[in-house]
Structure 1
Amino acid sequence: MPSPPEAPQVSPMLLARQRTLLRTYHRECARATDCEAPLGCLGSARARKHFCTDSQCTQDVHCPEGLTCQPLPTVGGGPHVRYCVPQGVRKEGEPCIGLPPDQDSACAPGLACSAGWCGRPCLLDAPSSCPAGFFCADAPPGPMCRPTCEGRTCPKGQHCIQDGQGASVCAVVHGQNCQQSPCAEGRECLTTFSAKPQVEVWMACFPECGKSSPACPEGLVCDRAQCRKPCQPDTPHVCEPGYRCLRHSDAQPWLCRPDIQED
């Protein structure tokens, strides 16, 4: 009989004076090692950046009315951090944001955001604990139901697209469906889901880059192991249709990224 999965480490809720002793507290980060223990590198949708933080609550009573204390995963398998997040309106199987900026991108009461999808807790040894069209995924902060469209027929104009973490949904595809038509050698299929209830996905084949890969072709820059097109926000029509010149923090370059207007 397999052993149960190890419970994820959770960052404690530090005292104010303990936080002042940590030089990386609330500093921007890109990886787990950018943060001193016991901090985790947490992404914020509202601020469009990652920052080092401890837990801000341990239970719901520490949160203002309308918010609930939820454990959130951090970059690179770092410790989970407990944060007060809104109780939202997103239904089961709809996309969500782990640290949502508002109710519109948060899961409804009774559901939790697991790897970008709203779902209910489930039992790994009881598949029926998830409704039809879902499967029980073994992932922090605990087994959760995630959507699947495998073996199902999607509505006209949509395709069954995998998210790379086991889940799959029927979505409108922008760009090349590189899960259906694989990329050429040396290029990786990059899939970006929108955070809207009506699921859309941007797909493209990008050259790989990094230590074990060749340098990017002329005119492209390496960003997180992908060669992307650089741009300047004041230059019109520099990006292809469906893309916009964006950067998520001052430390990142301006690049053509999917034009996802989040609700």
Structure 2
Amino acid sequence: MDATEVDKLAAAEDGMWWFHGLHGNLAAMLARAGAPSGPVLDAGCGTGGLLRRLSAWMPDAAFVGLDRDPRACAETARRWAGPVVLGSVDRLPFATGSLGAIVSADVLCHAGVDEAAALAEAHRCLRPGGAYVLNLPAYRWMFSDHDRAVDNARRYGRADLAAALARAGFAPVRVTYWNTLLFPLMAARRKLWPGGTAASDVGLAPAPVERLFAGLVGLERRWLAAGRSLPFGGSVLAMGIKPLLSAPTPSIAQGSPA
């Protein structure tokens, strides 16, 4: 992500309806996995908005952030008191079996991320029984200027993501879409009236719009929190569990640190 998008993220993530919905859904999914048995990694923490919210919502858990962008790490460290590590999700700088859970928001889709390597590293670093909770943009046909601006190379269907988790050795216990109620508007905005500029959709809307959209994704969050799923949407949300007796992590070309 370029410097402009990092700045936009830092300015919007505490107030924008999208991040309220995203962070709430990730937190609810993480809570369903039970209390983590070790530190929780935000893999690709950006400018730290998710870490700040999770730390407030789960005060008994220990969190650590990781991002490959020095500007993002510096911004996270400025706004959050916990540990932040500069590094790649493709080669996590953590010992095998050292993490209780991993959460990751729209990272596996990035052009600079090796999907197989990142999944293998998450599996390696988690303790048996640990949860890997992630959100990703949905549907290949929805690729747009927004994706180019935030350096996305991939978008996912529910079956795609479940299969990727299973290949990496995870038991995919839940995969669902969300951002369903606003999806028709999102699709029209990105595919019918794209605007012609390679800029992301990140940014605060007028206050009445923020309240309306936050209310709609809040309805979806309550639906999902009850254990239900949504049949389509702009994002796909998943949780995979590292089995208590797991097979060896599939090998990857560049290897993984022990």
Taking structure 2 as the reference length, the TM-score comes to 0.27
Flag the structure with more relative contact order, 1 or 2, with Cα contacts below 8 A and sequence separation at least 6. 2
Q: Which has the higher strand share?
A: 1
Taking structure 1 as the reference length, the TM-score comes to 0.27
